[in-house]
């Protein structure tokens, strides 16, 4: 799918033709659409195919005045998905007088520009627009990291009362998301820091300030991702032990109850034998036997409590 937009005095509006100063948004293009774009703008075909690889790392390439910036961006998965957050590549191509974004599927960061969440951006200022996409990507990482932290806190509260592995599996899936975030943020940091000494992007003072903010936010997101990863890993090990301990407590309780029940059962079994037994001719035998069974259970309970088994 290919769509084009341009900013006007009324905001971001769609355009049918690929005019100068427009933003061309490419999502999961077909081979025919890729061939059309390559022929129209004269860029490498890899500039359009590399962002479609979900495992592609962040980097930038330059070819005959055309530049590809490839960054990793976070994406919130549907509620039914096992892993709540993943990362996907975004290809930002600066060619001619247009900016082209290439993604395998819709990504949350680009939807912010389309929905009007981002203000003060202009598709005609290509460098600033590209930096704003990178900056909003770092902010989106920070937002999702806070969501992951809240999710881990909820799981932590449930784990105190849990004796199953459901919450541990949820923590494991959160850990997967954090691993995706950490590796993506690290590659993004390496890519954007190269701009400081590569002189590839000619930035104005305002654009350079935006670049500095982007670097700071990206570093902060990377630090938060590392911290949350360590916390989740520690929680996983700790609560695995807690769940095992909860199971042991339940088994100890059931074993104690079994012992207490077995004492009356033993007495009843003995007096159920077809042999001569004490008190068998006594009219109060049944009461004596029941009293003995209850007394045996009471003594057993006293011993278990005294030994702090219960």
CA proximity to 113, closest of 96, 87, 131, 89: 131
Contact between 61 and 102 under an 8 Å Cβ cutoff? The reply is: no
Question: Rounded to an integer, what distance in angstroms lies between the CA atom of residue 257 and that of residue 78?
Answer: 45
| pLDDT value of position 163 | 53
Q: Please tell me the pTM assigned to this model.
A: 0.75
Question: Rounded to an integer, what distance in angstroms lies between the CA atom of residue 210 and that of residue 214?
Answer: 6
Which class is 245-307 in CATH? mainly alpha
DSSP letter string over 27-96?
ES--HHHHHHHHHHH---THHHHGGG-TTPPPEEEEETTEEEEEEEEEEEPPTT-SSSEEEEEEEEEEET
Contact between 236 and 171 under an 8 Å Cβ cutoff? The reply is: yes
Give me the residue label for tokens 């495992």.
Answer: 55
Task: Classify domain 2-244 by CATH number.
Answer: 3.30.460.20
Domain boundaries, the chain: 2-244, 245-307
* E strands present in the chain: 2-8, 11-15, 23-27, 59-63, 66-76, 85-95, 98-103
pLDDT in 10s for each residue of the chain, 310 residues: 888 888 887 778 888 888 888 888 888 888 888 888 888 888 888 888 888 888 888 888 887 778 888 889 988 888 778 888 888 998 888 887 888 888 888 888 888 888 777 777 778 888 888 888 888 899 899 999 998 888 888 877 776 665 566 777 787 888 888 888 898 888 888 888 777 665 666 777 787 888 888 888 888 888 888 888 888 877 777 676 776 777 777 787 778 778 778 877 777 777 777 676 676 667 776 776 777 777 777 777 777 677 666 6
Read off the tokens for 44: 């490498």
Per-residue pLDDT tens over the stretch 23-58: 888 888 888 888 888 888 888 888 888 888 888 888
Q: Helices H, strands E: what count in the chain?
A: 8, 7
Contact between 270 and 240 under an 8 Å Cβ cutoff? The reply is: no
Residues across the chain: 310
Read off the tokens for 109: 């960061």
């Amino acid at each position: 799918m290919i769509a084009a937009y341009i900013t006007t005095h009324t905001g971001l509006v769609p355009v049918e033709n690929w005019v100068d100063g427009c933003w061309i948004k490419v999502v999961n293009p077909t081979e025919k659409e890729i061939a059309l774009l390559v022929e129209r703008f004269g860029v490498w075909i890899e500039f359009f195919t590399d962002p479609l690889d979900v495992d592609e790392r962040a980097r930038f390439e330059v070819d005959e005045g055309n530049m590809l910036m490839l960054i990793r961006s976070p994406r919130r998965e549907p509620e039914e998905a096992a892993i709540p957050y993943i990362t996907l590549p975004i290809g930002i191509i600066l060619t001619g007088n247009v900016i082209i974004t290439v993604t395998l599927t819709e990504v949350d960061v680009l939807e912010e520009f389309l929905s009007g969440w981002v203000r003060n951006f202009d598709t005609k200022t290509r460098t600033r627009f590209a930096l704003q996409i990178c900056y909003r990507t770092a902010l989106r990482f920070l937002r999702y990291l806070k969501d992951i932290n809240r999710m881990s806190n909820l799981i932590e509260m449930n784990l105190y009362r849990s004796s199953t592995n459901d919450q541990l599996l949820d923590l494991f899936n959160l850990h997967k998301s954090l691993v995706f975030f950490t590796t993506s943020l690290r590659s993004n940091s390496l890519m954007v820091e190269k701009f400081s000494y590569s002189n590839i992007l000619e930035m104005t003072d305002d654009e350079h300030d935006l670049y500095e903010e982007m670097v700071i936010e990206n570093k902060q997101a990377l630090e938060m991702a590392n911290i949350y990863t360590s916390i989740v890993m520690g929680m996983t090990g700790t609560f695995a032990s807690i769940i095992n301990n909860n199971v042991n407590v339940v088994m100890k309780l059931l074993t104690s109850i079994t012992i207490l029940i077995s004492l009356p059962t033993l007495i009843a079994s003995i007096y159920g034998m077809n042999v001569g037994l004490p008190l068998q001719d006594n009219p109060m035998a049944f009461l004596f036997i029941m009293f003995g069974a209850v007394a045996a259970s009471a003594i057993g309970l006293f011993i278990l409590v005294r030994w702090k088994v219960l």
